[in-house]
Structure 1
Amino acid sequence: MSITLPGPTLGVVGGGQLGRMMGEAVAPLGVEVVVLDPTPDCPATPVVSDQIVGGFDDADAIHELASRADALTFEIELADPDLMAEAAAEHDVPVHPDPDTLRTIQDKLVQKEALVDAGIPVPEFAAVATAGGLERVVEEFGGAMLKAREGGYDGRGNVPVETPDEAAAALDAIGGAAMAEELLDFEREIAVMGLKGADGETRTYPVTETIHREEILRESVAPARTDDAIVAEAESVARDVLDVLDGRGVFGIELFESRDGEVLVNEIAPRPHNSGHWTIEGARTSQFENHVRAVLGWPLGPTDLVAPAVTANVLGDTEETRPATLSGVDDVLRAPEADFHWYGKADVRPLRKMGHLTATLEAGGDDGAADRDDLLSRARALRDGLTFRDA
């Protein structure tokens, strides 16, 4: 393949913060980015070439995107795989990851069944349709995490069910097709950003520790504060997952490290993922640049760690939806170890992801667990000094 510049145009279904960061990452490479998103002036618009305003299931908008692009991808699982495949075929442009992969991942039950069929370890799970069925599963598992099969994200669509008498209310809260997983008492949550390129090439970024509260990712620590055996097993499991998935690009593979040293797959995202935002400062090539490289069939960039890094998410801390004005940014900008990323969302609401900051270990650190503990504390302190509430 011969690459010439100016580069190709990439069409992205979705124009949220992930589309924004894709645009930021590949502008230096001469790649033009056009996004499709239903929200006018979506977060990606300041950094991409153009936005098509349309729904993720808008056939005309998807076809317009395909007609203007040399390749298609998506940054949100709400993208319609059938429309993307149809538009890609009609306009003779590749779409990655493969729409079949998106179909599999969109339904959490189908996703888990595909992993089991491939011999990949996952928590115990079961489809549930009635309160009685969920009660039996909760008794069998000793507690369960009830998940909406489709559409859940950032804690939405997940309801912990600790006793059978909570089953009916949990199903009502989900309000649709659901599955239940055993409620694990895990050691930690970890993640691997996996990468598939042209000609079957695969790479992984260093194993990352992910820290959640209320089912929402709060911080990521890279490399993970775990032992070498777990790191090796997580990398092996991640590569097995990549073998199951069709198409090129970055895949966010979320994992559990169990108390007895097992590594189990939690969920997969067929796109760059919040767990990998640290790669912008902490890896030789960010997950965003590598995702675009892979989709275009370009050579992949190295995934090596440049510096230990901690990412802290900046979430909405208001009690209601309101115009977004963030204060306290001065202290983050003064911190020599910190980099700040604003997502450009006009409104803040409770726990909405509005940005993130990444703290990297200064040169000369020995990168022991204590260093990463300290880095995590510093990142949290900087993040906790930010607020959307009135001063």
Structure 2
Amino acid sequence: MKRVGVIGGGQLAWMMGDAAKKLGVELVVQTPSKSDPAVAIAQDTVFASIDDAKATELLAQKSDVITFENEFVNLDALSLLTNKGFIFRPKLAALAPLLDKYHQRCYLRDLGLPVPQFFAIDDTENLASKLEHLDFPLVLKSRRHGYDGQGTFIIQDLTSLQQKLSQTANQSQFLIEEFVPFERELAVIAARSVNGEVVIYPVVETQQEQQVCRRVIAPADITPNQIGQSRAIAHTLLNSLEAVGVFGIELFLTVDGKILVNEIAPRTHNSGHFSIDACETSQFEQHLRAVCGLPLGYPTLNCGMAIMVNLLGYENSDSDYQSQRQQLAAIPQATVHWYGKTESRLGRKLGHVTVLLDEYNPEAANHLAHALESIWYPS
């Protein structure tokens, strides 16, 4: 029986639990807190911060292969472990160009993939000359550790930009990119095996509120050409990185119908949660198949459409929201996934609900997504 070490113990690792059971895989988790979701499904746990490389060495000793629930790790420290023969999937070289968002943008551009215009802030002296090529509003982004909209700021004018930069001691931690007035946001989950086989899930539409994903509609209502462009981006990226495992690729669909790459997540991704209920092989099973060297499964939808709505915290509370969860679960073909977190706070991902539709009907899917939200969120 394979033992997979997972760095991170949040809901993404927790959702690997059912897939691991199905495949006869044991999970060993490195996570700081006994109340983290994945502790409940792990065969063994190393309680430590995910950037604690000494703890990861202990995790590695208990595991056949190590993978990642999130990417906030110290690659330099982990590279010493690869020298000792421990196996990481995806390998550290596949993560290296992606963890800093400026380096990620450069990597994508150099691959010839379509990205927004961007530049790094090396010093504020040359800022004005660099800004000649970009119009306001523009986007100021933290190069490391930003997710769910954290570390991303829409800047309306030069004064606001200078004010924002003056509040930080290290301005080089940011990059600037053009604001893309997109028509829609899309995402695609792709997986690559140790043998280089790539499988790609249906392209989905992701709908954000305050830069946090609220709804996912699968498949997205886009043209065959746009589907083809999205799939080609996924193929190029995963093959170039020689990635092993599941990657989430966030995309913009511009008003003139072009596809641009927004961000890459080198792991399972919120936009792929629909796959647990709606696809022949979930993204979590697919990831374990890839990192364990098993053949990849089929990513095809087993329904006409699927809607996934994130159940986000809207208050500080220790409620388990039993009443709302029961109402959601009573909807035909609905499944509620509750992550077992002990407290709610604003924007925290507490769970998600997926509803399957027998037929392809984007209008009905959007209507249903908002109906689900009206049950969860107080009016």
TM-score in terms of structure 2 length: 0.94
SS state of the match for residue 347, structure 1?
coil
For 1:115-134, list aligned pairs within 5 A: 115-131=108-124, 133-134=126-127
> Which amino acid letter does the alignment assign opposite residue 230 of structure 2?
A
For 1:146-157, list aligned pairs within 5 A: 146-157=140-151
For 1:182-193, list aligned pairs within 5 A: 182-193=178-189
Q: Does 1:315 align with 2:312?
A: yes
Cα distance in 1 between the residues matched to 2:245 and 2:44 = 22
1:375: which partner in 2?
365
Cα distance in 2 between the residues matched to 1:278 and 1:31 = 22
Relative to 1, partners in 2 of residues 1:9 and 1:117: Cα closer, same or farther, differing over 3 Å?
same
1:206: which partner in 2?
202
Specify every segment of 5 or more residues in structure 1 that has no aligned partner in the other structure, as ranges: 1-6
**Deviation (angstroms), 1:88:** 4.1
Cα distance in 2 between the residues matched to 1:139 and 1:311 = 41
**Deviation (angstroms), 1:85:** 3.3
Cα distance in 2 between the residues matched to 1:348 and 1:129 = 39
Q: Does 1:26 align with 2:16?
A: no
Cα distance in 2 between the residues matched to 1:23 and 1:173 = 43
Cα distance in 1 between the residues matched to 2:363 and 2:340 = 30
Cα distance in 1 between the residues matched to 2:374 and 2:230 = 31
Deviates more, 1:286-295 or 1:230-239: 230-239
Q: Does 1:39 align with 2:5?
A: no
Q: Deviations for 1:347-387, whole angstroms, at most 9, x for unmatched residues?
A: 2111111111111113xx2x1xxx22212322332233125
**Deviation (angstroms), 1:199:** 1.3
SS state of the match for residue 73, structure 2?
coil
**1:138–1:164 contact (8 Å) kept in structure 2:** no
**1:148–1:174 contact (8 Å) kept in structure 2:** no
Q: Deviations for 1:264-312, whole angstroms, at most 9, x for unmatched residues?
A: 1111000000011111111110000000110111110011111211111
Cα distance in 2 between the residues matched to 1:139 and 1:324 = 51
Relative to 1, partners in 2 of residues 1:199 and 1:161: Cα closer, same or farther, differing over 3 Å?
same
> Which amino acid letter does the alignment assign opposite residue 317 of structure 2?
R
TM-score in terms of structure 1 length: 0.91
> Which amino acid letter does the alignment assign opposite residue 373 of structure 1?
E
1:4: which partner in 2?
none
**Deviation (angstroms), 1:138:** 4.9
For 1:67-106, list aligned pairs within 5 A: 67-90=61-84, 92-106=85-99
Relative to 1, partners in 2 of residues 1:135 and 1:43: Cα closer, same or farther, differing over 3 Å?
farther
Any runs of at least 4 consecutive aligned residues in structure 1 with deviations exceeding 4 A, and if so which? 129-139, 172-176
2:299: which partner in 1?
303
Cα distance in 1 between the residues matched to 2:124 and 2:330 = 53
**Deviation (angstroms), 1:57:** 2.3
1:350: which partner in 2?
346
Cα distance in 2 between the residues matched to 1:159 and 1:210 = 19
SS state of the match for residue 141, structure 1?
coil
State the aligned residue count.
374
**Deviation (angstroms), 1:263:** 1.0
> Which amino acid letter does the alignment assign opposite residue 268 of structure 1?
I
**Identity between Structure 1 and Structure 2 (%):** 37
SS state of the match for residue 176, structure 2?
strand
Q: Deviations for 1:165-194, whole angstroms, at most 9, x for unmatched residues?
A: 110233356764100110011111111111
> Which amino acid letter does the alignment assign opposite residue 109 of structure 2?
V
Relative to 1, partners in 2 of residues 1:338 and 1:67: Cα closer, same or farther, differing over 3 Å?
same
**Deviation (angstroms), 1:206:** 0.9
**Candidates 320, 341, 354, aligned match of 1:325:** 320
Cα distance in 2 between the residues matched to 1:261 and 1:341 = 34
Cα distance in 1 between the residues matched to 2:37 and 2:102 = 31
Specify every segment of 5 or more residues in structure 2 that has no aligned partner in the other structure, as ranges: none
**Deviation (angstroms), 1:109:** 0.3
Q: Does 1:142 align with 2:139?
A: no
> Which amino acid letter does the alignment assign opposite residue 215 of structure 1?
Q
> Which amino acid letter does the alignment assign opposite residue 64 of structure 1?
L
1:240: which partner in 2?
236
Q: Does 1:384 align with 2:379?
A: no
1:194: which partner in 2?
190
Q: Does 1:15 align with 2:9?
A: yes
**Deviation (angstroms), 1:136:** 5.1
**Candidates 94, 108, 113, aligned match of 2:106:** 113
**Candidates 44, 50, 54, aligned match of 1:56:** 50
> Which amino acid letter does the alignment assign opposite residue 323 of structure 1?
D
Cα distance in 2 between the residues matched to 1:245 and 1:281 = 29
1:3: which partner in 2?
none
SS state of the match for residue 64, structure 1?
helix
